[in-house]
Structure 1
Amino acid sequence: MWNIQLFKLNFDDLEREAAAQVVEGGWLTMGERILGFESTFSDYLGGDTKCVAVSNGTAALHMALLALDVEAEDEVIIPALTFVADANVVQMVGAKPVLADCRSLSDWNVSAESIKKCITSRTKAVIVVHYAGFPCDMPAIAELCREYGIHLIEDVAHAPGASVGGRNCGTWGDISCFSFFSNKNLSIGEGGMVATQDEGLHQRLGYLRSHGMTTLTLDRHKGRAITYDVAEPGLNYRMDEIRAAIGLVQLDKLPAGNARRAKLTARYRANLVNSPVTIPFDVMLPDSVSAYHILPVLLPEEVDRVKVIEALKQKGIQSSIHYPPFWSFSAYEGYFDPADTPVAAEICARELTLPLFPSLTIDEVDSVTSALLEALV
């Protein structure tokens, strides 16, 4: 259907062989490849980071809130511009999500200033999202959270490989959460990772992932344990060996994939300069590196976005919206007032996401931008 898809997997025979080896080995549940993926990902993030592989990014966020004892009557500040999972998990633990606005129409991340405006006596935690792979101002946000004694959770779904101040995104928060969904820079279908530098939180996250059990099935299979204790109530948010094996291959490809995304993004910017379409984050934070997860643009105010999407579709070009606002969903009807976050409200009304993935060609980028500008005439 599509001549140019929104996203394509960066897969080849390496992923196929990695999955086949797991099947041939006969052990599918958490095992040596999970341990290897966690260890390699920890090394990739750097510092004293410890990782727990989980079934998906939403599970990671849910576990983070549980591990930090976020509960009923607490408030959690989240970006007004993000995927609904960030609001859903806060609701699921009985807490109240509070929306922080974007910094500006050129910087779509939350800022320390926008977060500070939302802090009350009931604020227990802040979730930040590095939108499109561009890092938030983590030094300022981390300092704010320390000042107010608030837990900091990083949603790094868009930003594996991004950094600010020479420090990787995913190492600033008390707990950080990654998603490895199919359209992510590191793709394994479903899957995620929870990271922390706190030993006590790392142990608790391990319990939460697997029923609170103190030993793994692999330990009993290997004869290292006979039975197990249950340290606390937990869930089943485990990752399987096939996805961990693919994850190891994808992690090895991540730096080159992100570098390619950067070159493609630069071409988009060059093609759209002096046009009525703008691309956010034209000025990045000092000493920061983006992961270039998606290619979001801001359409002119008077443009009918639906007609633009249809015009691109007629040329076989897939596009998307990142993200529909929370107040547009039935589950959150009347819950949020868009007037409280006016910058995010405007972005949500005018944003359009264009194709971006490592195997996209420069010629295809040129075709997309030409079609987009034609659609605006």
Structure 2
Amino acid sequence: MKIGFILFNSPEKSETFLTSKINNLIESGYNVVMFANQKNNFSLCKVIPHPIVSQNFVLQIFKIIVSNIILFIKRPRIFINFLNLEKKDNISFRDRWKNLYLNNHILSHDLDWIYFGFATTAIRRENVSKSINAKMGLSIRGYDIYVYPLKDKDCYKRLWLKIDKLHSISNHLLKSAEQYGLDDRTRRSVIRPSIDINYFINKKKISKLKINRKKIQFLTIARLHWVKGLEYTLQALTILKQKKLNFSYTIIGGGHEYERLIYAAHQMDLNENVSFIGSQTHNIIKDYLQESDIYLQYSIQEGFCNAVLEAQAMGLLSIVSDANGLTENIRHNYTGWVVPRMEPELLANRIEKVLSIPDETLMQIRHNAITRINREFSLSKQKEKFFEFYNK
């Protein structure tokens, strides 16, 4: 079976939720070819770049004409199929030819499945699968449903009608997609993210994991974006600092909000407590997980969050917001704690309560988290479920 994997860009090393999925497909015997812009040294499978759109109007028209003529000569039936399907969907004459050019590289291949890694990657590609008689699979993630439709609530109206099977990383995400028009009769599977449970193992025995109450080490791994709620986290820590709590807070991840968050930390008098250390390798991230006491993920919107899984696997005490998939990631009072989002006082109160819990009780929370991660979120578990996704 040959699967075309569609992304905007080839995965970064940090995007383990994508690289592990591709690895699993290849190990299961599938022939995987990726259609994406090559942004790094990704080498798990063949990568075919998306067509380049020229800023020069005349040059772009020439490229459209040439590439479409080549496609017509090589695959006339598919060429006609695509244009007819676009016309049936009432796509304008001009946009039909634009879309043909943008999808020329995919239409040139024989594929059994076309799998879109994000819903947004399928926009303007809704008719590609049917044109080449391939099945269409799609994953929906946090940004796809919680952010992108805010610009246009009907952005997936055509897409929902074309899907053969849908993958969601959480039940909450699936219900939210239905609010934007997803038919409840569409075949779907909830396959939650997975992590390498053999890698994310704490060097210390669980009985030796105790909070350093002299100076608490907080950690968050997130891109610096408003949906991650980092400013609310800083506000909560400001409250705790005013109560004389001694702590350090490390934020791993880059993003365009860096300067604003640096300024916010300064305004809240947290310069000596907060460290922004940018994006890091897996080894360095694991080192920080090893040395931290409490993991914080106080997001405003969140699909699921692999970093929270990794923190639990390492035995960290995890406190998260009630944003979407996080409520399925953490079981409140059993594997960690869930706090209403955008309420820094409630987050500060929860941290205080956790710090007041005896180490013996916290050890049980850690044990529950590690056991659940190992049982439900392993790469092998995800591999089994995706095999079923493509074969049932």
TM-score normalised by structure 1 residue count: 0.31
Rg larger for:
2
Higher relative contact order (CA 8 A, sep 6+): 1
- Structure number having the greater helix percentage: 2
